């Protein structure tokens, strides 16, 4: 028997997972004191139960991590047989090694805390780099939204039916896009693009070569590797400030691309991301519900795909 618990960060995702498993969300009490401190309390017996906690650690990252630590500790102290945490977006994942002398490694700190709290397994999605997996000593299931993206790309619809750039495929074969190319917004995402390309009958791909100043965060683009086409599909693991996507769109249009779609797993959407993305001359942006996008950060070009089904299948294996 499995019990599903929802932290505060993404209750809608937890509810979808529970519904798919024909379960109800088990009750928790998260009390916030006047000074901002939190206390977690389990409100039903979990003795010898397998427990799953859904809590991505998107902004506010520190608050969501602390709440997760407290929930896990409460479950363990209450006798839970095992605790699996679904951290669909793993905060601090980009700080997985020392970039400059004198820095700490933030990801190692939070992982050690998760392990010390008693987490038995982590389920997460589309890490910025698979090198982050090396930090963990406990089992980690690294899932991907790429199958969702591949299916959506195959089925891009316009008012007249199937998108005209899709060609008919033989029975049992996935469709392919005519005159289109997958694009990684940086060289670090080429591995991801290659995997998606294989899912789409080896759809051509290209990559934008960029440089980032570690001190200021400023991005400069030096070139594009690979042949482009009239339609470009930018694919990334996350959208934070939106500046990388906006710059990618600018570079692609400058090189003759007429139509641009964007797919990204994690909608971090910090700072002025909504404004930047709304103003970018692109067709549509597809993200997943690995992070709950609040109403004030949504806009007309945005469409959300759910990873709940992928998570449910993984939980059913255990």
Per residue in 41-50, pLDDT (tens digit) is: 999 999 999 9
166-201 pLDDT, tens digit each: 554 444 444 445 688 999 998 889 999 999 999 998
Spatial separation of the C-alpha atoms in residues 276 and 38, rounded to whole Å? 34
Whole-number percent of the chain with pLDDT over 70: 89
Q: What is the DSSP string of 168-230?
A: P--TTSPPEETTEEEEESSGGGHHHHHHHHHHTTS--EEEEEEEE-TTT--EEEEEEES---S
Beta-carbon contacts of residue 25 (< 8 Å; ≥ 6 apart)? 4, 5, 6, 11, 14, 15, 18
pLDDT bracket for residue 217 (50, 70, 90): low
Q: Report CA 285 to chain centroid distance, whole Å.
A: 14
Beta-carbon contacts of residue 156 (< 8 Å; ≥ 6 apart)? 162, 163, 165, 166, 261
274 among known catalytic residues: no
2-143+312-317 under CATH 3.40.50.720, yes or no: no
pLDDT score, position 96:
79
Is 161 a residue whose pLDDT tops 70? Answer: no
pLDDT bracket for residue 95 (50, 70, 90): confident
Spatial separation of the C-alpha atoms in residues 19 and 139, rounded to whole Å? 25
268-318 pLDDT, tens digit each: 999 899 999 999 999 999 999 999 999 999 999 999 999 999 999 999 987
Catalytic residue of the set 210, 230, 297, 301: 210
End-to-end C-alpha distance for the chain, whole angstroms: 11
Are 285 and 276 within 8 A, CB to CB?
no
This prediction has a pTM of 0.90
Q: Which helix (H) or strand (E) holds 19?
A: helix 11-20
Residues of the chain with CATH 3.40.50.2020: 2-143+312-317, 146-282
Higher-pLDDT residue of 121 and 159 is 121
Task: Give the domain 146-282 fold.
Answer: Rossmann fold (3.40.50)
């Amino acid at each position: 028997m499995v019990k599903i618990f929802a932290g505060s960060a993404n209750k809608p995702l937890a509810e979808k997972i529970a519904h798919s498993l024909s379960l109800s969300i088990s009750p928790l009490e998260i009390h916030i004191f006047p000074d901002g401190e939190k206390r977690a309390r389990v409100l039903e017996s979990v003795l010898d139960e397998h427990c799953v906690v859904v809590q991505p650690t998107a902004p506010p990252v520190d608050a969501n991590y602390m709440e997760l630590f407290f929930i896990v500790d409460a479950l363990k102290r209450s006798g839970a047989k095992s605790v699996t945490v679904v951290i669909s977006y793993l905060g601090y994942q980009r700080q997985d090694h020392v970039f400059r002398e004198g820095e700490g490694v933030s990801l190692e700190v939070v992982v050690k805390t998760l392990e010390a709290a008693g987490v038995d397994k982590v389920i997460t999605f589309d890490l910025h780099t698979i090198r982050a997996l090396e930090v963990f000593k406990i089992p980690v299931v690294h899932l991907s939204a790429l199958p969702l993206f591949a299916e959506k790309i195959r089925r891009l619809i316009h008012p007249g039916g199937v998108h005209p750039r899709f060609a008919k495929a033989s029975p049992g074969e996935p469709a392919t896009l005519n005159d289109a190319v997958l694009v990684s917004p940086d060289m670090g995402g080429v591995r991801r693009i290659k995997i998606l390309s294989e899912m789409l009958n080896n759809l051509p791909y290209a990559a934008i070569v960029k440089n980032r100043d570690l001190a200021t965060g400023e991005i400069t683009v030096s070139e594009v590797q690979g042949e482009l086409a009239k339609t470009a599909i930018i694919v990334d693991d996350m959208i934070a400030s939106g500046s990388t996507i906006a710059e990618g769109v600018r570079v692609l249009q400058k090189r003759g691309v007429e139509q641009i779609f964007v797919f990204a797993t994690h909608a971090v959407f910090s700072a002025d991301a909504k404004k930047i993305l709304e103003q970018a001359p692109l067709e549509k942006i597809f993200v997943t519900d690995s992070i709950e996008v609040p109403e004030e950060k949504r806009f007309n070009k945005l469409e959300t795909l759910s990873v709940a089904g992928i998570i449910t299948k993984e939980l059913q294996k255990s």
